[in-house]
Chains A and B, each alone.
Chain A
Amino acid sequence: MPLLEAVGISKRYGGILALNKMHFAATAGEVHAILGENGAGKSTFIQIVSGAVAADEGELRLDGAPYRARGPREARRTGISPVFQELSLIPDLTVAENIFFGDEQLSALGTISQRDLNEKAAALFATLDLPTLPPGAPVRSLSIGDRQIIEIVKGLASDPKILILDEATSALLPKEVDWLLNKARERAAQGKLVLYISHRMDEVRRVADRVTVLRNGETVGTEATAELSDKDIVSMMLGRRLDRLFPERKPTATGKIALKVTDLKVAHQLRGVSFDLREGEVLGVAGLQGHGQRELFMALFGAERPEGEVEVWGRKVTIRSPGHALSPEIGMALLPEDRRNQGLLLGKPIRENIVLSAFKRIVRRGLVDPRAERELVESAAAQLRIKADSIEQPAGTLSGGNQQKVVLAKLLATEARILLFFDPTRGVDVGTKAEIFSLMRDLAARGFAILFFSTDLAELAHVADRTLVMSYGKIAATLEGEAMTEGAILSATLSHKAAA
């Protein structure tokens, strides 16, 4: 009998059917992966299981008995413990306070003892073979990777029947990922159920016994992992074979150097980086979380104060601020990492978002020319095929892929010819991904120079002309041509620990 079973579950948000009579069954003692594109219904399902939202119809069964959690608290008491992608730690509370939050032992006076919590946390860390994390430190002082680990520890602390890991490895280093996958297998061996949601196929292969694929809110199927090829999984997710995710790559780089960086340094994170980015080139950047790529992009864009030299189109420059980087003098634009918090004004119309960095093009004698504004926005929206009711639709109401297109339109509206793309396909559906890649190659062919960081190494291997591999704040390797395979990039990101 399955431990967790879903029968015909539907959930509607406004006009959108997030789950449509969805079925699911997982047994105790397995690691069960759930795969699907963005918007396939994975997170809605997880939220229903963990009690954060209620299903409109259908039934959840736990050990064969109907089960309906009224709120996360009750789900947790039943033994369902979710570790969300969105960090749920409270920054001003200590590590120990966070781990046991809500489950603290109270004294006779109803008080919580800090010392008890710290001791319990230390003991827990010991049993989970984690290097000594500081139980008494406020979470706000920790790195993102450590926070992610504490999030997982928190999920494990109550020894749940069902542990849900939702994209829990996104901020982890490889050896931390190994640790997590081991813990997941251990729990399965102990007869518990682990639901594993990840975009990383290799992790799914290493850890999951079975895979359930969702598409458009419906269950496509559940299969043993070993019996499926990557291609099978992708076609289950997409419902059609996606023949050409990546565009054809013709070398378009000229001899002209658009951006020359010499010995760029930012505090401890970026420790001396030099490279040339040529006109018409897509220069890839690879690196594990926290190896200096974010600082590199931010420093080039004027959001950090670096040491070292930067030349733009042959002129030595000091980029003082993002505004300066975007000015015609420099002509450099950034597609930031976090679309919702760094890229878009979610409450404002598409129109206002697109022109935000490009006022110089639509201001005549100190005033915005509405016709010029409209033309600029409509041509940009058409070029990128943004799907929206009108250009007055608030950006926040668009799908992830369309939001990213608005950010891209905003970048192109600046007329900057050096583009910094920091993980442009993050949280974007496969269709839009393909469009973004072909746009990048197209821009390169038109003489733009693109610096392109991605967490997905396949993207670098198929889209970039060359790839810089960063490790410990330095460039550990530069790969190009035949040598620039996914595997080669990966091993280069891992191998240069000596550089520290």
Chain B
Amino acid sequence: MSTLATLARRHSWLPPLIVLLLLGAIIGILRPSTFTGDQINIKIAAAMTLILIATGETIVVTRGGIDLSIGGILSLTTAICATRGDPGLTESVFWIGFVLALGAIVGVVNGLIITFGRLQPFVVTLATWSILEGCALTVLPAETSGVPKSWVDLEHAMPFGIGVPMILLGILIVLWAWFSRTRVYNEIRAAGSNERSAYLNRVSVLGTNAWAYGLSGFFAAAAGLYFATQTGAGHPTVGTQYVLPAIAAVVIGGTNLMGGRGSLMGTIVGAFILTLIGDVVFLLKLQSYWQWVMSGLILMLVVILTALTESRSNSGNGG
């Protein structure tokens, strides 16, 4: 029991993984056909936008902040994607690079504003969210299809029967395995754990904020790119639907909202949980609104359990 508890504390993504397996088991029983290669590709495709956008949020939350502007970046990216006409190869490369860079730059700007103004990330990114969503609506006033067909085709390609989303997921995990061991991430963790101590250890508050929010913007743009090519359309207000789920996925995955401790594996698990709840509700023939109730309850439950185990382990070490 105690080894299980230590294991759970060291790998904060284990408890949500158990929840995910349970959900998987329910779906498996209700609809055994789910676990075919095709279906798994579809599930990953469905979860991928959330996974990408929550990846950035994980980094920011580990840094001890929060990023709401990812909603605006997501919206703006899909809007830009849907207004590119029919670009050639060079143009395509340029525009894809452009949106990713734009996301990263917007994120860095968030980081700079927060650091130099010594402002609360919540309000600053709330404001930039509004600005970016405004830009999205200016670029594309209403939901329209119009994402270049070549991009959509590329996204829907199935080399060797493996979907692009699954490949993306693989790349993401490998990149994370590398990134989470670099000095930059170590400094982000340190600054999120205790900014003052980190500063005394020569960690740059500005640098870690720029990196964390910059990466968050980058991943939000990647999520927008993915979403646009997945649906073939631009959605200038879609971001609103993803901000809170992104935070929820991060929290369900065991990342501490106080900063210092983050786990992308947990976030990915969290994103899958939130995606599969819809399936479970559907298969149980409940009204689709139960999806919201259930995700809210799971989120609350996870946080309450974390809070309780934290206070237990802290009181054990007191003195």
Contact = CB atoms under 8 A, between A and B. Distances in A.
A143 B319 contact: yes
Contacts of B194: 90-92
B159 interface: no
Contacts, number: 72
B190 interface: yes
A79 B22 CA distance: 56
Most buried by B among A93, A267, A290: A93
A87 B198 CA distance: 11
Across the A-B interface, the 3 shortest Cβ-Cβ residue pairs: A92-B260, A88-B200, A111-B181
A71 interface: yes
A297 to B, nearest CB: 13
Contacts of A87: 197
Interface in A371-397: none
A90 B201 contact: yes
B186 A109 contact: no
A453 B144 CA distance: 72
Interface in A91-107: 91-93, 97, 101-102, 104, 106
Contact of B197 (A73, A88, A113, A268): A88
Interface in A107-159: 109-113, 141-143
Contacts of A218: none
Interface string B168-196: 00000000001001110010011011101
A111 B182 contact: yes
Given A109-B178, A268-B319, A290-B319, A92 B201 contact: no
A90 B318 contact: no
A91 B313 CA distance: 14
A268 B197 CA distance: 30
A301 interface: no
A76 interface: yes
Contacts of B196: 86
Interface residues on B, range: 20 to 34
A90 B197 contact: yes
A409 interface: no
Interface residues on A, range: 20 to 34
A475 B254 CA distance: 43
A87 B317 CA distance: 18
Interface of A: 71-73, 76, 84, 86-93, 97, 101-102, 104, 106, 109-113, 141-143, 267-269, 290, 294-295
Contact of B186 (A88, A112, A142, A267): A112
Q: Is the interface of A mostly helix, strand, loop or mixed?
A: loop
Contacts of A102: 183, 201-203
Contacts of A294: 319
Nearest to A98: B201
Most buried by B among A91, A113, A142: A91
Interface of B: 178, 181-183, 186, 189-190, 192-194, 196-198, 200-203, 260-261, 313, 315, 317-319
A112 B317 CA distance: 29
A267 B318 contact: yes
Contacts of B200: 72, 84, 86, 88
A11 B203 CA distance: 25
A5 to B, nearest CB: 25
18 contacts: A72-B200, A72-B202, A73-B202, A89-B197, A90-B189, A90-B197, A90-B201, A91-B194, A92-B193, A92-B261, A101-B190, A111-B182, A112-B182, A112-B186, A141-B313, A267-B318, A267-B319, A295-B319
A93 B317 contact: no
Nearest to B203: A102
Contacts of A72: 200, 202
Nearest to B319: A269
B153 to A, nearest CB: 34
Given A72-B200, A110-B183, A112-B186, A90 B193 contact: yes
Contacts of B186: 93, 97, 101, 104, 112
A76 B189 CA distance: 22
B193 A91 contact: yes
A110 B183 CA distance: 7
Nearest to B179: A111
A91 B194 CA distance: 7
Most buried by A among B178, B189, B201, B318: B201
B189 A93 contact: yes
Given A109-B178, A267-B319, 17 more contacts: A86-B196, A87-B197, A90-B189, A90-B190, A90-B193, A90-B194, A90-B198, A90-B260, A91-B194, A92-B189, A92-B193, A93-B189, A93-B190, A102-B201, A113-B181, A143-B319, A269-B319
Contacts of A106: 183
Given A112-B181, A112-B183, A88 B201 contact: yes
Contacts of A290: 319
Contacts of B198: 90
Contact of B178 (A76, A111, A143): A111
Contacts of B203: 102
